[in-house]
Amino acid sequence: MKKPLRSYIEPGSPREAIRRAQWRALGISDEDMQKPKIAVVNSSSELAICFSHLDGIAKVVKESIRAAGGLPFEVRTAAPSDFIIGAGSAGGYILASRDLIVNDMEIAIEGAQLDGMICLSSCDKTPPAHLMAAGRFNIPTILVICGYQPSGRYAGKHVDIEDLFLGTIQASLGKLTRADLRGMSDNAIKGPGVCAGMATANSMHVVCEALGMTLPGSAPVLANSPQMFAAARSSAERIVAMVNEDLRPRQILTPGAFRNAVAAVLAVSGSINCIKHLQATAVESGVDVDVFKMFNDLGDQVPVLSAVRPNGEDTIEAFEAAGGARALMKQLEPLLDTSALTVTGRTVALNLAGVTVANPEVIRPLNRAFSDKAPIVILHGSLAPESAIVKLGLRGLDRKAQFKGPAVVFDDGALAMQAIAAGALKRGDVLVVRGMGPKGGPGMAGPASSVVFALDSAGLQSDVAFVTDGQLSGLCNKGLTVAEVSPESAVGGPLSLVENGDLIEIDVDRRSLEILVPAEVLAARRARLGEPVLPQSSGYLSIYQRSVQPMSTGAVLVKRS
């Protein structure tokens, strides 16, 4: 006997009668009410180009769900684009928006007890939010990758959002004219979609495919291209079948799947933000894995097989043309858990059978990698008892793996930027900027990424190390930067005890981050500072600040026993 749909309510019962009245008024027939009810999760928004095309995709997806025998219900969520919502609260809404989306989805989808969901994943925070929700609700789910934006040219050169981001800092330091900055701004984005390049959005799109939560061949893809719409239609057909098969995310989101996703991030030298998003997905899915440890364990085994901007000179278009995530996984196949199940209902091994790499110069084989050194390393030590993250990208590009120097400390990112502009930092300094963690921001607020670009623009990227409890944009791939130091300073982490002149030692090869100050001196400072007091916040950010868990959970809001 076929298992009844989750949305089934006994006909004639009071609850069914009330729901039927609502749906009949919407024009839904009694016959349609018996079909699998699919949430089409859409973060369309007129605020940002990243989400501006999603209504068109939703229309196609809904049509395809109906044709496949399902009943679609469009569910709207917040649409956080970092470059737009970063204007308020010093960027505190950026990370906090991820968890807002998850809870927003829960109210609609769990409240209505829908049978499955298809999520239109676009800018940075929607892919992890959709994965986290899939793990939490554990109903049949598939993600549709909604594509990257085309970029343009200015003054005879390629220009994209990465160039513009760097240009904003150069202009603030007087190294680029405002006219040129405006010219770059007018040409950096030429259509809808996420940032071009292997920043957080495209890195997370690769993660979604490596986890098995999208159809093979989905990522990356040019927004609004025929390939993107074809994948959207196929995904809509597939989600109806997944409901009928009762194929659920927790069958897919296994330790092997997380291992595959970590390998993919390392192979593309992806955004460090993938680490916390993967850990958060694991927590929400009830999977007992330490993603931070996985990055170090696999970092010694997985070489860098692609060099897409900002890691190298290849474009995201070239990566897609070479075969994208599917081709990357084919090259990685000997290192993957190919028994992992995917949304196709088949294993990774079956999905990769017969796959070829269109351009092995863009997505290289294991024996001819761009680099055999880990591009992302998790550090521990007296300054980071839980964790800290350093991204070196392609080693050998004037990246120091060891650094020891005196701390120059700021509790405010803007003041650090002013110090850089004023020439107050000297060669050998370790710039420390704190108070930017999940609780201290709150929401990891503060211009940590801008500090990185300011150091680069000032010519200090090789001479000054940067240590912060803040997060970085996926576009940041410069100098020796240690980010997301945990525990954060706002909760009394060792970073809160650092004073100007303290020696700090970073050793990537030893995976260590140390403050070279006697323990008794640090203890005296802690006693003097007393119990940490969180900065005042209001509105949603005050709720986030009270609820957010440590970085070891991926900064989730839900506490798991």
Give residue 271's pLDDT band: very low, low, confident or very high (50, 70, 90): very high
The pLDDT value given to residue 397: 46
* Span 74-122, pLDDT tens digits: 999 999 999 999 999 989 999 999 999 999 999 999 999 999 999 999 9
On the 0-12 / 13-18 / 19+ scale of CB atoms within 10 A, 3 is: exposed
Please, what is the Cα angle at 460 between 457 and 462, to 5 degrees?
A: 120
Q: What angle do CA 317, 175, 470 make, to 5 degrees?
A: 65
Alpha-carbon gap, residue 126 to 115, rounded angstroms? 20
β-bridge partners, 384: 381
Distance CA 183, CA 538 (A): 38
Residue 97: closest CA among 126, 59, 73: 126
What mean pLDDT comes out for the span 464-489?
Answer: 91
**450 included as an active-site residue:** no
User: What count of Cα atoms within 13 Å lies in the side-chain half-sphere of residue 18?
Assistant: 3
CA distance 453 to 459: 10
C-alpha to C-alpha distance for 440 and 442, rounded to whole angstroms = 5
Which is it for strands 481-486 and 465-468: parallel, antiparallel or unpaired? parallel
For residues 303-329, average pLDDT = 96
Q: Is the pLDDT at 558 greater than 80, yes or no?
A: no
The confidence score (pLDDT) of residue 165 equals: 86
CA dihedral over 64, 70, 76, 81, signed as positive or negative: negative
* Span 357-376, pLDDT tens digits: 999 999 999 999 999 999 99
Instruction: Tell me what pLDDT residue 395 has.
Output: 61
- Average pLDDT of 332-347? 98
With respect to CATH, is domain 376-536 assigned 3.40.50.20? no
26 pLDDT more than 60 = yes
Name the residue among 408, 402, 458, 455 with its Cα closest to residue 434: 408
Give the pLDDT mean for 394-401: 63
The pLDDT, as a whole number, for residue 560 is 62
Residues 166-188: what's their mean pLDDT? 93
Contact 215, 41 (CB under 8 A): no
Give the pLDDT confidence score for residue 302 in this predicted structure: 97
Q: Can you read off the two tokens belonging to residue 473? A: 């944009």
> Residue 476: pLDDT above 80?
no
- Which residues make up the CATH 3.40.50.2300 domain(s) of the chain? 35-150+191-352
Range scoring the smallest mean pLDDT among 243-247, 378-382, 453-457, 550-554: 453-457
pLDDT at 477 over 80: no
Q: Could you give the CA distance from residue 347 to residue 522 in angstroms, rounded to a whole number?
A: 52
Give the number of C-alpha atoms closer than 13 A to the C-alpha of residue 343, restricted to the C-beta side. 33
Q: How many whole angstroms separate alpha carbon 435 and alpha carbon 535?
A: 9
- Average pLDDT for 60-81: 97
So what's the pLDDT on residue 473?
Answer: 83
Burial of 60 (0-12, 13-18, 19+ CB in 10 A): middle
Q: Average pLDDT in the 209-222 region?
A: 98
Nearest to 219 by CA among 234, 204, 235: 204
> What are the φ/ψ torsions at residue 383 (nearest 5 degrees)?
-95, -15
- What percentage of the chain reaches a pLDDT higher than 90? 90
pLDDT averaged over every residue in the chain: 95
* Residue 467 CB neighbour total at 10 angstroms: 28
Domain with CATH 3.50.30.80 in the chain: 376-536
Using DSSP's 3-state secondary structure scheme, residue 170 falls into helix
pLDDT, tens only, 411-459? 999 999 999 999 999 999 999 999 999 999 999 987 788 899 899 889 9
- Report the pLDDT value the prediction gives residue 394, as an integer from 0 to 100: 79
Q: Residue 154: which residues within 8 A CB-CB, separation 6 or more?
A: 180, 183, 184, 186, 187, 188
Biggest distance spanned by C-alpha atoms of the chain: 77
Superfamily of domain 35-150+191-352: Response regulator (3.40.50.2300)
pLDDT classification of 304: cutoffs 50, 70, 90: very high
CA-CA distance, 472 to 449, in Å (whole number)? 5
Q: Which of 473, 489, 496, 537 is catalytic?
A: 473
CA–CA gap between residue 126 and residue 145 (Å, rounded)? 10
Per-residue model confidence (pLDDT) at position 470: 95
- 437: tokens are 């963690």
